[in-house]
Amino acid sequence: MSRASASFDWDDGNRKKCEKHGVSVGEIEALLSGTPRVAPDQKHSKAEGRFIAVGCNARRRPIFVSYTLREKDGQLVIRPISARYMHRKEIENYEAESPDFQN
């Protein structure tokens, strides 16, 4: 699936969970449609495969997003599970691993 043509699966449950930390649906979709750093979330992948994505919003504020991929109506979609702005220690680790990162 090309990220440029990514479709997202939103409902009241995941929308509220993602927005409760102040991260908007638009920020989440922009991050996941771009080129975030992605890794499997093995700790939370019991019932289905989950992933974590780390990147920055348009204002260069680092964001952490948990998501899964699901099939819906025959199409693979991205279902965000949780999102939050990263904590200082996480930002420091992200900066150390991303030489092109500018806060």
Query: Which residue ranges make up each domain of the chain?
Result: 3-83
CB 79 within 8 A of CB 64: no
* pLDDT at site 95: 74
- pLDDT score, position 96: 76
User: pLDDT at position 6, please?
Assistant: 77
Cβ-proximal residues to 11 (8 Å cutoff; 6+ apart), any chain:
none
Q: Find the DSSP H helices in the chain.
A: 12-19, 25-33, 88-97
The rounded average pLDDT for each run of 10 residues, N- to C-terminus, in the chain (103 residues) is 70 92 95 91 80 91 94 93 91 71 47
pLDDT, position 103 = 44
Within 10 A of 72 (CB to CB), how many other CB atoms are there?
A: 10
pLDDT of residue 24: 95
